[in-house]
Amino acid sequence: MSKYVYSFGGGTADGDGTMKDTLGGKGAGLAEMSRAGVPVPPGFTIITDVCNVFFDNDKKVPSEVDDQIWAAMEIVEQQVGKKFGDASDPLLMSVRSGAKFSMPGMMNTILNLGLNDATTAGLAEKTGNPRFAYDCYRRFIQMFGEVAMGIEMEHFDHVWDSLKAKRKVKLDTDLTADDLKLVVEEYKKIVKKHAKRDFPQDVREQLIMSRNAVFMSWWAPKASYYRKMEKISDRLGTACNIQAMVFGNMGDTSCTGVGFTRDPGSGAKVFYGEFLVNAQGEDVVAGIRTPQPISELETWNKEVYRQLRDITAMLEKHYKDMQDFEFTVQEGVLYMLQTRNGKRTGPAAVKIAVDMYEENLIDDKTAVMRVAPSQLDQLLHPVFDPASLKKLVKLATGIDASPGAAVGRLAFTSEDAVTMSETSPVILIRKETTPDDIHGMDASKGILTAVGGKSSHAAVVARGMGVPCVVGCGAISINERAKSAVVKVGDKNITIKEGDWVSIDGTTGAVYLGQATTKEPDPNSPVFAKFMKMADKFRGGFGVRANADIPRDAKAAREFGAEGIGLCRTEHMFFAEDRLPHVQAMILADNEKDRRKALMKLLPMQRKDFAGLFMAMDGFPVVIRTLDPPLHEFVPKREELMVDIAKLPSASPKDKKEMLNRYKNFVTDVKSLKTKLPELLHRVEQLHEFNPMLGHRGCRLGITYPEITEMQARAIFEAVVQVAQKGKTVIPEVMIPLIGGVEELENQKKIVKSIAEEVLGKAGLKKQKYLIGTMIEIPRAALTADRVATEAEFFSFGTNDLTQTAMGLSRDDYTKFSKEYEEKKIFKADPFAVLDQEGVGQLVKIAVEKGRATRPDLEVGICGEHGGEPSSVEFCYRVGMDYVSCSPYRVPIARLAAAQAAITKNEASSETNRTA
């Protein structure tokens, strides 16, 4: 018979910490702690496979599962010395989810399972504490009613808040036992009204309904969204952990708390966390009351604090990673409820990896694998310029929950945040967030809450997402219905409304009214530099270059560790205000002589640009792409011209003046608008294309107008001479775009090579090395790569256009239906963000293999947006590319992704050799 249920507690466990696939992260942690002799309340875990069986079997489980559950319950009863459902001394249970990967707050939990009218009365008599018993019962009805019976929480909250207002009390703990009995009766009426049945009194029915509710929460919208965001497989399923309750709400000698063995925000080696006296676990993470820092636990109970420090230090050493733990103290006795590898910010991940390596807890390979490449993005978040803050009103200081600076307009609901984010950056402001806010949090640049601590839902999720977050900002009183808030600043009340600009600092907790200016982060911090040095050691010869068009970007790229420029888009230089008139003159010219005249004016400008790039990249290669976009992009839009021509006869002097300014590069005075605009429209009509992306662009421009390629080649090699004569090492690589076959490349290469030999020969630099290659972005070029490689000395995959042409998908129009495609799993991810390895990737692989078959020393790289996306980088490494190229600020991410790809490949090879 298959084993579906694994017991733990009492110093033994059926499973262990290696069984996360089977027991989930929480269940594996409980089993491992039990084996290590940590005080863990006994219980059992229903394995993750049962979750999938539940959905595959019309939301039912095999009878063997139920049999094993009740057998495991008997073991718990024996260990605790109480019976589940016993009216005189009841055993109460908690029911919690627990997937392989942590999904904080995304799935369901039920506490105090096993209470009904009879067992609550027995619990009150047994403990001599009726207030405690009825507090547990009202919590259970409320939680079970929402989670297992689908009743909206607001119905229960209304009863609770009304009674507190009637009794004129602020704290939950100020209500008496009699008050709680009234609440219980009102809650049962709510259940009867909304669920059309009485609150279940059969404790076995309660357990089955709770288990099913946990499984159902796997497919709750917020959980599905979180899995998509974190790239977690839907087929993993969640385990269900059923564990004997211990109580932090039995009075002032009891408490509950959560913590980390290091600071998850900064990575500092400090004991970090929070606790609440006389409370249950959900009170801490829900932000219902603002908790006390864990350092104050030592004052509250010195022995418990010492024991907790000893246990958590042992767990960190055992798991060799920062631990996220939950604990409860029941009448002075400590119990550990959970341990798992803790989620952390990017800066914390890097610091913890480096520190643990230096503490000899882990080796350098483990340190490099410990940080997700995407987490490095958080180290590159901007910070506020202090000078800009002087002009703003400081509204309040809350708790710094997730680092980084964020500026945006206030949104008071998640729905509004999503809508507003389409046109403006957003700061989501809430009293406290709940898991249902995940879509709004994802759409926001920053998150601000009035209550909660560093382990509240907002804090934990924001840190995982790398979004700046400030919580527990008690000076803010929020009116969600009015979409406004009042902040007490000194003796004044300041009202802030939806759409107002605010700036929040998740590193300091400061909140400002207005728009602050941000500064770019320092990529050269000692800890970050140490970590990247470790990563680079494992990359081997695999290179990381940057896409940069101007010297400023090239310098930034070098600071981030780029080893060259993988794509310089020369057309970006043409849009500068001092160049555009010459570009437009070249386009409007109807003969070669006039085109060359305009191009000669552009030549010194392009030469200066290229020289700046070569200077910045001294000793590293620079790939320069010749002109790629269609010419119509440099002239006024056809539709706008037609409208202006139609308006011209009745236009006012003011309108004509505006038109003159708009067409200043084509028209000299108002009088000539009448003749010049139609002439301009005629030329624009000639340039107009039904499908510009597949039209007269790329190498096709150079073939039609060879003088453009000549000018650009001359500018490149004159810049090479200029910089080389200054003693710098210049490595130019000229890239011809959008070829469909070798013939196009052959045509353009001939022009470039002729100019190169002429310019370098005159300068006495005949030995100067350079490469001429091509961008592979058309399927035909990939499929005929063996022939293309007879001329190309390098390939660079332009995967943006290759994705468009291979998938028949417009990058600009895909967003109109991308949501449906990704929600319905037609696409696993946005193919313009994450390389489609199954389709587009096959073209890449074919081209690499065919190209290298013809030219074994062929240099191969990628310069599309995928060059900085971790899974795409891993693919590029796997198919044998020499480098990836990405935006300067993604260079560290690509460096780490490449290092991890190398480590993974080497470990797989070692494993293969061992088993051979």
Q: Annotated catalytic sites, by residue?
A: 457, 863
d(CA 628, CA 233): 39
Three-state SS at 897: helix
Residues in the chain: 916
Residue 505 CB contacts under 8 Å (≥ 6 apart), including other chains: 383, 384, 400, 405, 468, 470, 511, 512
Dist CA 747 CA 846 (whole Å)? 24
Exposure letters 830-842 (e unless 16+ CB within 10 A, then b): ebbebbbbeebbe
Which residues, including other chains, have CB under 8 Å from residue 69's CB and lie 6 or more apart? 5, 44, 46, 207, 211, 242
**DSSP secondary structure letter of residue 522:** -
Taking CA atoms, 303 is separated from 299, 332, 569, in Å, by 10, 9, 65
When computed from its CA atoms, the radius of gyration of the chain, rounded to whole angstroms, is 33
Residue type, 138: R
Nearest 10 degrees: CA dihedral of 417, 420, 424, 427?
-20
Neighbouring residues of 73: CB distance < 8 A, sequence distance ≥ 6? 44, 84, 242
State how far the Cα of 879 lies from the Cα of 482, in Å rounded to an integer.
Answer: 56
Q: Tokens 């904080």 map to which residue?
A: 104
Annotate 572-607 with b (16+ C-beta within 10 A) or e (fewer). ebbeeeebeebbbbbbbbeeeeebbebbebbbebbb
DSSP state of 9: E
User: Do 587 and 509 form a contact (C-beta atoms < 8 A)?
Assistant: no
Helix (H, G, I), strand (E, B) or coil at 824: coil
Place of tokens 């190229």: 885
Task: Check: CB of residue 255 under 8 Å from CB of residue 61.
Answer: no
Kindly state the DSSP code that residue 306 receives in the 8-state scheme.
Answer: H
Q: Is 697 exposed, middle or buried (0-12, 13-18, 19+ CB in 10 A)?
A: buried
Compute the distance between CA of residue 867 and CA of residue 882 in angstroms, rounded to an integer.
12
The DSSP-derived string for 650-711 is: G--HHHHHHHHHHTTTT-SSGGGHHHHHHHHHHHHHHH--SSGGGSS-THHHHHH-HHHHHH
Helix (H/G/I), strand (E/B), else coil: 244: strand
The Cα–Cα gap between 584 and 190 comes to 73
Placement of tokens 């490099």 in the chain: 368
Beta-strand pair 238-244/255-260: unpaired
Q: Enumerate the H helices of 390-454 as residue ranges.
A: 414-420, 438-443
Nearest Cα to Cα of residue 780 among 746, 747, 806: 806
Closest Cα partner for 901 from 610, 653, 621, 543?
543
